[in-house]
């Protein structure tokens, strides 16, 4: 009997894992991760940290020490520039901005993700009589149908 219960629990766990995988797959296919990432990147582009990073990159490119960039092929020049940017103070400021900004929006982002996952989960649990009639979740998280 204990073996039968264990087997039943194993099947429940497998169906839960399958549902989790299905939700994750749908979440990715609808571009919901990309949508959240794009929103955070838009916030970054509107920040003073972004402006500082761009100014630092332009300064590196225009500096005398970067004169060798013009004589290199594009791939090598990009690698040299990337290394210089990674070592710069501006890049450290970008990492700090990301940490602070995501931390500040953590509750909001968690709630949004939870809401999207619940919507997908309810779609999966809802018997679809006609797939054309099924409610669809748009990439922006709104329901269409």
Distance CA 1, CA 5 (A): 6
Domain residues for the domain of 143 are: 1-30+105-145
User: What is the pTM assigned to this prediction?
Assistant: 0.62
- Please indicate, yes or no, whether residues 35 and 96 belong to a single structural domain of this protein: yes
Structure tokens at 129: 């009589």
Look-up: residue for tokens 């400021």? 93
- Please indicate, yes or no, whether residues 23 and 79 belong to a single structural domain of this protein: no
Q: CB–CB of 123/134 below 8 Å?
A: yes
- Please indicate, yes or no, whether residues 65 and 11 belong to a single structural domain of this protein: no
Query: Mean per-residue pLDDT for 58-68?
Result: 70
The percentage of residues in the chain with a pLDDT greater than 70, rounded to a whole number, is: 68
pLDDT band at 1 (very low <50, low <70, confident <90, very high): low
pLDDT band at 114 (very low <50, low <70, confident <90, very high): very high
């Amino acid at each position: 009997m204990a073996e039968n219960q264990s087997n039943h629990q194993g099947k429940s766990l497998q169906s839960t894992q399958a549902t989790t995988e299905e939700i994750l797959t749908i979440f990715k296919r609808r571009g919901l991760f990309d949508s959240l990432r794009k929103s955070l990147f838009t916030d970054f582009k509107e920040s003073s940290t972004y402006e500082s990073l761009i100014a630092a990159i332009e300064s590196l490119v225009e500096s005398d020490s970067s004169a060798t960039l013009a004589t290199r092929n594009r791939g090598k020049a990009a690698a040299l520039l990337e290394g210089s940017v990674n070592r710069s103070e501006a890049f450290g400021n970008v990492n700090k901005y990301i940490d602070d900004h995501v931390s500040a929006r953590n509750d909001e982002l968690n709630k949004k993700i939870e809401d999207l996952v619940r919507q997908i989960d309810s779609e999966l649990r809802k018997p679809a009589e006609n797939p054309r009639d099924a409610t669809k979740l748009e990439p922006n998280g709104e329901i269409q149908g």
